Amino acid sequence: MNLTTYIRDIQDFPKPGIIFKDITPLLGNPVAVDECLQLLLKNLEGQKIDKVVGAESRGFFFATLLARELGAGFVPVRKPGKLPYDTLSATYALEYGTDTLEVHTDAIKPGERVIIHDDVLATGGTAKALCELVERLGGEIVQCNFLMELSFLHGRDKLAPYEVYAPLVY
């Protein structure tokens, strides 16, 4: 199955000059969703995973599916003020300005083996902030896992020394 046919390019979104990779058509096709899930799982064969961290909001789609299939817990990481319990936060640089992510302080226990999942690896800022939060809670990062990677933005470089996997690379 050619999964790239289910990724729609949206010109000038969210601002001029950006080509947004829209996964909505993929999410609307259960066969394509299952194919993606199987590719992500195949790369994790033989790994013991305790938690799957999903980045708000598109990272939640496959992170919850991965957690279910791996028999692991799901950990949502959200924008500030969205989680109801005590949180840790990490701020990271964007092209223009900064953004912040938060996780519950009890979401990951020391020594737990963690997968980080988001829909797209672009510049790597979000994923690096996720890694920081997991490590501050004592988790061990097994892999940074994405549905797709925009390789021309070199986000993978920011994530060294972590293992990075994405079945679709642009």
Our count of domains for the chain comes to: 1
Asked whether residue 26 is assigned to any structural domain, the reply reads no
| E-assigned strand segments in the chain | 8-11, 19-22, 51-55, 73-77, 87-94, 97-104, 113-121, 140-149, 164-165, 168-169
End-to-end, the C-alpha distance of the chain in Å comes to 17
Show the domain range for 99.
Answer: 46-169
Asked whether residue 9 is assigned to any structural domain, the reply reads no
Instruction: Confirm if 53 and 37 have CB atoms less than 8 A apart.
Output: no
- For 149, residues 6+ apart whose C-beta sits below 8 A from its C-beta are 120, 121, 155, 156, 164, 166, 168, 169, 170
Asked whether residue 37 is assigned to any structural domain, the reply reads no
- C-alpha 8/C-alpha 112 separation (Å) is 36
pTM of the model: 0.94
Q: Indicate the pLDDT class of residue 68, thresholds 50, 70 and 90.
A: very high
Asked whether residue 41 is assigned to any structural domain, the reply reads no
Q: Indicate the pLDDT class of residue 97, thresholds 50, 70 and 90.
A: confident
Q: What is the pLDDT of residues 145-157, one digit of tens each?
A: 999 999 999 999 9
Asked whether residue 164 is assigned to any structural domain, the reply reads yes
Asked whether residue 104 is assigned to any structural domain, the reply reads yes
- C-alpha 47/C-alpha 50 separation (Å) is 10
- Name the nearest CA neighbour of 112 among 69, 83, 75: 75
Q: What is the mean pLDDT of residues 112-121?
A: 97
- Which CATH number is 55's domain given? 3.40.50.2020
Asked whether residue 34 is assigned to any structural domain, the reply reads no
Residues tagged active-site: 58, 95
Asked whether residue 72 is assigned to any structural domain, the reply reads yes
Do strands 168-169 and 140-149 pair parallel, antiparallel, or not at all (unpaired)?
parallel
Residues above pLDDT 70, as percent of the chain: 99
Q: Indicate the pLDDT class of residue 93, thresholds 50, 70 and 90.
A: confident
